[in-house]
C-alpha cells in the first residue's frame, strides 16, 4: 500500500479522492498495491466526508511522516503551494500537481530540486485537464524537433464562448454555469483574462523548447473584449472565435530561432479542426519535424477529468519506483519571448470612420490592397468590418491609422 497526502480538498482534490475510491482495485491490479489517502491538508473540516477524519491543518505532520511517499498538490495559487511542494521534494517525497501557476512560475527550479533529491515532480493535470499531453509530448514525441504548439487551453472560456455563440447566452450567464460545473478558477478573472491559458502555454513551450518563459512576459488577451458583433464578423468570414495559446519558433525550420508566445482570441476558420472544439473541451496541436501535426483532445477542466490525470501521475510513480527516470531540464528564460507584433497574421478588424460607405472602402483599398470588406452597404453604421491580407500587427496599425479608429483587431489563425 502506498500512502499519499492530498493538499487542498476543493474541486480537484476531492475528485482525486473519488477516483481513488472508485478505481482502487483497478489501480492495484496495475501497480500491485492500493493507494491510501493518509492525510488531507486543508484549512476546512469535512465532517460529512468519509475521509473527514484524515484532515490535518499542519503541513509539518505530512513532511515528518516517512510513510507518506507521494504528495498530491491541488491547492491552487502560488503560495503556500510552491513552499509546500518544495518542502515535500526536499523531504524526499514525490509530488504530483494540477497547479499550473506553480509549474509555470517555479517549474524549472522544482524540477531541479526533484532531480537533486531523486524524486519526481509530475504535472500532467496542469494543462488540458484530463487530456494526456505532457507525457506524450515528453516521451512519445521525443524524437522530434518541435516547431509549434497551439491550443484551446482553457475550458471556462471555451464554455463561455460556445454558449454565447451557439446558445445565445450572455457572458455572465455562461460564466455562472462554468463556475457551477467546477470549471472556473476560484477567481474566474484568471480564466476570462487569459492568465490561466498563459500559464499553460508557458508550460507547453517549456516542454517543446526547453525554456520556461515567465507568464508575465507573455502578451495575454482574454475574452472580456469579445463582442456579439465580433462573433458575427467571424461567422461572416467563415469561422468562430476561440481563445488560443500559441508558442513556436519564429523560423519553424530553424530550431535555434527565437520562440514566440501569445494568448489571444483568434478566428478559427471552419476547416480547421480546432473550430469544432466546443464547451469545456480543450485541444492542443503539436507540430514536429518527423511526426507532422498531432492533436490532443478531451475535457480540459472539471473534477474527475483533472483527477484522472493526477491519479495517472501517482500510478506512474508507483510503476517506476526503482527506475532512474529522465527528468526534463528546463532553463529559466531570461527576458521576453520574441516580439508577437511581428508575427504574420491576417487580421479581422472593425474600424470606426466618419466617411460615407463608398469612401471608406476606397480609402481602405488604397492603403491595403487585398483587404476583404465584410460589411454591406445596408449594414454600414459608421463602422466597417474587414479582413486584411497576411501582415504584421505593426504594419496593420500603421496602415489603419489614417482610416479611423480600430475598435477591434482579432487574429485569424493561420
Which residues lie near ligand HSE (CB under 6 A)? 129, 154-156, 183-185, 191, 196, 300-301
CA R_g for the chain? 23
Instruction: Return the exposure string of 355-392: e unless at least 16 CB atoms fall within 10 Å of the residue's CB, then b.
Output: eebeebbebbeeebeebeebbeeeebeebbbbbbeebb
The phi and psi torsions of 134 (rounded to 5 degrees) equal -65, -50
Question: Taking the complex as a whole, how short is the minimal distance between the CB of residue 226 and ligand HSE, in angstroms?
Answer: 16
Question: Taking the complex as a whole, how short is the minimal distance between the CB of residue 221 and ligand HSE, in angstroms?
Answer: 16
Question: Taking the complex as a whole, how short is the minimal distance between the CB of residue 301 and ligand HSE, in angstroms?
Answer: 4
Question: Taking the complex as a whole, how short is the minimal distance between the CB of residue 284 and ligand HSE, in angstroms?
Answer: 12
Spatial distance between the Cα atoms of 55 and 197, rounded to a whole number of angstroms: 32
- 373: cell is 470588406
Catalytic residue (choose from 38, 93, 100, 200) = 200
Asked if residue 98 lies in contact with residue 123, where contact means CB atoms within 8 angstroms, the answer is yes
Beta bridge partners of 386: 349, 373
Report the residue count for the chain: 414
Query: Which C-beta is closer to ligand HSE: that of 281 or that of 345?
Result: 281
Spatial distance between the Cα atoms of 137 and 283, rounded to a whole number of angstroms: 14
Query: Which C-beta is closer to ligand HSE: that of 129 or that of 288?
Result: 129
Query: Of the candidates 154, 351, 133, which has an alpha carbon nearest to the alpha carbon of residue 242?
Result: 154
Query: Which C-beta is closer to ligand HSE: that of 130 or that of 337?
Result: 130
Asked if residue 300 lies in contact with residue 131, where contact means CB atoms within 8 angstroms, the answer is yes
Query: Which C-beta is closer to ligand HSE: that of 124 or that of 185?
Result: 185
- The CB-nearest residue to ligand HSE is 156
Query: Which C-beta is closer to ligand HSE: that of 222 or that of 248?
Result: 222
- 9: cell is 480538498
Sign of CA dihedral 274, 275, 276, 282: positive
Question: Taking the complex as a whole, how short is the minimal distance between the CB of residue 5 and ligand HSE, in angstroms?
Answer: 22
Q: Is 200 a catalytic residue?
A: yes
- Active-site annotation, residues: 200
Amino acid at each position: 500500500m502506498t500512502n499519499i497526502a492530498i493538499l487542498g480538498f476543493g474541486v480537484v482534490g476531492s475528485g482525486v479522492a473519488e477516483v481513488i475510491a472508485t478505481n482502487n482495485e483497478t489501480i492495484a491490479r496495475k501497480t500491485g498495491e492500493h493507494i491510501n489517502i493518509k492525510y488531507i491538508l486543508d484549512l476546512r473540516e469535512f465532517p460529512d466526508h468519509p475521509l473527514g477524519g484524515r484532515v490535518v491543518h499542519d503541513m509539518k505532520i505530512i513532511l515528518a511522516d516517512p510513510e507518506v511517499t507521494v504528495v498530491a498538490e491541488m491547492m491552487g495559487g502560488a503560495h503556500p503551494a510552491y513552499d509546500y511542494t518544495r518542502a515535500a521534494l526536499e523531504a524526499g517525497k514525490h509530488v504530483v500537481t494540477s497547479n499550473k501557476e506553480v509549474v509555470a512560475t517555479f517549474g524549472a527550479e522544482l524540477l531541479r530540486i526533484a532531480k537533486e533529491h531523486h524524486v519526481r515532480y509530475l504535472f500532467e493535470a496542469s494543462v488540458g485537464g484530463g487530456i494526456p499531453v505532457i507525457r506524450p509530448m515528453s516521451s512519445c514525441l521525443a524524437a522530434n524537433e518541435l516547431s509549434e504548439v497551439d491550443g484551446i487551453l482553457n475550458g471556462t472560456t471555451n464554455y463561455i464562448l460556445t454558449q454565447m455563440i451557439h446558445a445565445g447566452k450572455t457572458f455572465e450567464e455562461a460564466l455562472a454555469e462554468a463556475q457551477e460545473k467546477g470549471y472556473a478558477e476560484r477567481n474566474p478573472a484568471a480564466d476570462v483574462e487569459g492568465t490561466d491559458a498563459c500559464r499553460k502555454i508557458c508550460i507547453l513551450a517549456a516542454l517543446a523548447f526547453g525554456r520556461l518563459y515567465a507568464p508575465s512576459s507573455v502578451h495575454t488577451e482574454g475574452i472580456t473584449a469579445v463582442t456579439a458583433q465580433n462573433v458575427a464578423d467571424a461567422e461572416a468570414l467563415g469561422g468562430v472565435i476561440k481563445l488560443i495559446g500559441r508558442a513556436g519558433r519564429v523560423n519553424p525550420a530553424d530550431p535555434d530561432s527565437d520562440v514566440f508566445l501569445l494568448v489571444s482570441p483568434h478566428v478559427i476558420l471552419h476547416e480547421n479542426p480546432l473550430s469544432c472544439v466546443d464547451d469545456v473541451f480543450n485541444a492542443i496541436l503539436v507540430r514536429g519535424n518527423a511526426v507532422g501535426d498531432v492533436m490532443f483532445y478531451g475535457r480540459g477542466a472539471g473534477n474527475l477529468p483533472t483527477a484522472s490525470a493526477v491519479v495517472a501521475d501517482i500510478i506512474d510513480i508507483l510503476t517506476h519506483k526503482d527506475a532512474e527516470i529522465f527528468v526534463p531540464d528546463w532553463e529559466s528564460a531570461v527576458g521576453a519571448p520574441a516580439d508577437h507584433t511581428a508575427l504574420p497574421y491576417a487580421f479581422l478588424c472593425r474600424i470606426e470612420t466618419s466617411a460615407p460607405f463608398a469612401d471608406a472602402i476606397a480609402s481602405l483599398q488604397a492603403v491595403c490592397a487585398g483587404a476583404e470588406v465584410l460589411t454591406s452597404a445596408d449594414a454600414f453604421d459608421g463602422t466597417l468590418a474587414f479582413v486584411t491580407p497576411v501582415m504584421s500587427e505593426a504594419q496593420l496599425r500603421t496602415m489603419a491609422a489614417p482610416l479611423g479608429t480600430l475598435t477591434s483587431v482579432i487574429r485569424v489563425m493561420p
